[in-house]
Amino acid sequence: MLESFIRMMLLDTTPLRVASADILREWCEYVPLEPLFLAMQDTNERVRSAAKWVLADVGAHAPQEGLMPHLTDPDAEVREAVLYALGTQAPVAMVLEALDAPEEGLREVATYLIDMMGVQVPVELLITMLQSENAQRRAAAVRVLGTLGEHISLELLIEALQDTEENVRLEAIRALARSSERMPQTELRTFLDDVNQSIQREATKVLASVGDPEALSIIVGWLHADDEWARENALVWLCTPIVDMGNAIARHLPIEELLHLLKDEWWPVGYMTARMIAMLGVDAPWAELLALLSDPLPQACNAALHALALLGAEIPLSQYIPIEPVLIVLDDEDREMRRKAAEVLNYFDVSVPVERLLLHLDNENVEIAGLIAKQGRQEGIDILVANLRTRDRASFAVAALGELGEQAPVESLLAALHTSDTFVRQRVAVALYETHPELLPLLVPDLVETLCTGKVGPLLEPQQDIMIAQALAALHSPHPTLLAWFDQALDSSYWEVRMWAIIGLSGMAPHVFESTIEKLQRLYNDPESASVREAAHRTLETLELRTATDEHWG
């Protein structure tokens, strides 16, 4: 099968060459280098780019002697891929040379490798780099020096605070953030009112991370900005970690400020604040979050649930809060609130009363269905399977089914491999690998047959029909042959073919056959897919409206 993908990289169809390269990237240690170097000469930029990243990944598992000669290749993209492949084994001199390269890709990989090499780069060389005319070299040197701790003098980094280039000054501030108790707070405070917003913001964050009162006061001011976008952006900046300091700012900010922001009318502020609170881990304000679950402001309850979900992803919630307040939220009238509550319940390591869950089971709440399915109830599994045949909820349903182990319905997951959504297909493959790994090898002969002969087998046939339906729908042509094809596709055994045929018909008024209208009316009650039913409903409304309009102007 490996040879088939290598041959596909030589075909004259660009998408196939790119797709083959992407697949080979997953088989790093088994792929020979020679075909990849050949693909790097491809005339198509997309193919070269795909081959470059395969070469970078595959090369990391290959003997160095097969890569070193290509460090002098005249093609900059080849040199870039080889440097990525060699990683910290790349010659320091070649990495430093790449820092000065005119090609942006080479400069990026060199900067990346300097960071990766760290202590492998002699301190004397780093100090020399600080005097370089190349700002990227100076910034890279400052960044690495900042990782060396007590092995270097802070004066080198303090001097870099006065560099003429903004990026070097930013790296100096971040490097000093690593110096913990040695941090020169006096020097950094001079940047709290810097005219350069990036410099001012970064210095403020660094000082706030060690509890500097002036810096914390500035941040509180950001969080009280009148403009909701300003508040949101402030939280985005604060949630972006400074080097390895993680949750330091969240621990120093007054907790009442964060709790107040959970009630912000602008919901992204509440969600970003939830992220800040989640950084506190076991020290989160558990009682206050629970109290917000009964707050009359829906945005406060939603943000509190989001914080609990983020905390639950790292901490068993049962150890810190009772389950009952979250169960009460299941009675909320808002479907999104119920969905969020079910997500939080998933992080309790105690059994959730299934009777309480069944009261709120509906066709669209994948989270509640997942909780019920995990307790072995067929009602939950049936809802998850039904949601595999939807455009919007399939990926969530797959994730929930993947948690059921051997209980996961094999046939339904295999059928979901036919979907046109690449992300869903990938999640289905993962779910099958986790629940029924013995089935995946059985699919290989069908795929190999397609690769070798071009003849589409049972596994891919529905996708072929879906792609035809999508292509024809994009034409918006009422040609009788196309109308007949859509009419026939409405009888397809695969829900997504029916759905795309319905979508294609939506622009065909007043040319749609009467028999086709009758089929659409029947699909309004399609027994298999909610997405088919929704598409039929919208298309019938559209056809009626356009027909009425045409008759009016006629």
What per-residue confidence (pLDDT) applies to 546? Answer: 59
What per-residue confidence (pLDDT) applies to 552? Answer: 41
Structural tokens at position 467: 């792609």
Distance CA 538, CA 145 (A): 61
Q: What is residue 18's three-state secondary structure? A: helix
- Sorted by sequence, the CB contacts under 8 Å of residue 91 that are 6+ apart come out as 71
pTM, rounded to two decimals:
0.79
Residue 24 has pLDDT above 80, yes or no: no
Residue 486 has pLDDT above 50, yes or no: yes
**Amino acid (1-letter code) at residue 537:** H
pLDDT (tens digit per residue) in 300-335: 999 999 999 999 999 999 999 999 999 999 999 998
Structural tokens at position 305: 């649930």
Distance CA 142, CA 157 (A): 7
Distance CA 302, CA 328 (A): 13
Helix (H) / strand (E) containing 248: helix 248-252
pLDDT (tens digit per residue) in 220-239: 999 999 999 999 999 998 88
pLDDT (tens digit per residue) in 63-112: 888 899 999 999 999 999 999 999 988 998 888 888 888 999 998 898 88
Distance CA 549, CA 541 (A): 12
Mean pLDDT on 3-18? 54
CA dist 505 → 477, 500, 524, 535, 536 (Å): 9, 9, 14, 10, 10
pLDDT (tens digit per residue) in 51-75: 888 888 888 888 888 899 999 999 9
Report the 3 state secondary structure along 433-496.
HHHCHHHHHHHHHHHHHHHHHCCCCCCCHHHHHHHHHHHHHHHCCCCHHHHHHHHHHCCCCCHH
Which of 248, 218, 246, 247 lies closest to 234, judged by CA? 218
Of 119-133, 162-176, 273-287, the range with the lowest mean pLDDT is 119-133
Q: Report the chain's mean pLDDT, rounded to a whole number.
A: 88
Tokens 């598992």 belong to 61
Residue 217 has pLDDT above 70, yes or no: yes
Residue 443 — pLDDT band, cuts 50, 70, 90? confident
pLDDT (tens digit per residue) in 119-146: 778 888 888 889 988 888 899 899 889 8
Residue 449 has pLDDT above 80, yes or no: no
What per-residue confidence (pLDDT) applies to 9? Answer: 46
Residue 338 — pLDDT band, cuts 50, 70, 90? very high
CA angle, 514 as apex, 513 and 515 as ends, to 5°? Answer: 90
Helix orientation angle between 45-59 and 76-86, rounded to the nearest 10 degrees? 30
Residue 11 has pLDDT above 70, yes or no: no
CA angle, 156 as apex, 152 and 162 as ends, to 5°? Answer: 155
Mean pLDDT on 448-463? 78
CATH numbers and ranges of domains, the chain? 254-350 (1.25.10.10), 372-441 (1.25.10), 473-553 (1.25.10.10)
Backbone CA torsion sign across 31, 35, 41, 46? negative
What per-residue confidence (pLDDT) applies to 364? Answer: 86
Helix orientation angle between 92-99 and 76-86, rounded to the nearest 10 degrees? 130
What per-residue confidence (pLDDT) applies to 59? Answer: 83
Of 39-43, 251-255, 287-291, 511-515, the range with the lowest mean pLDDT is 39-43
Residue ranges of E strands in 307-353: none
What per-residue confidence (pLDDT) applies to 492? Answer: 94
Distance CA 2, CA 453 (A): 15
Q: Given its phi and psi angles, is residue 405 left (phi above 0), alpha (psi -120 to 50 degrees) or beta?
A: left
Mean pLDDT on 261-266? 95
Query: In percent, how much of the chain has pLDDT > 90?
Result: 56
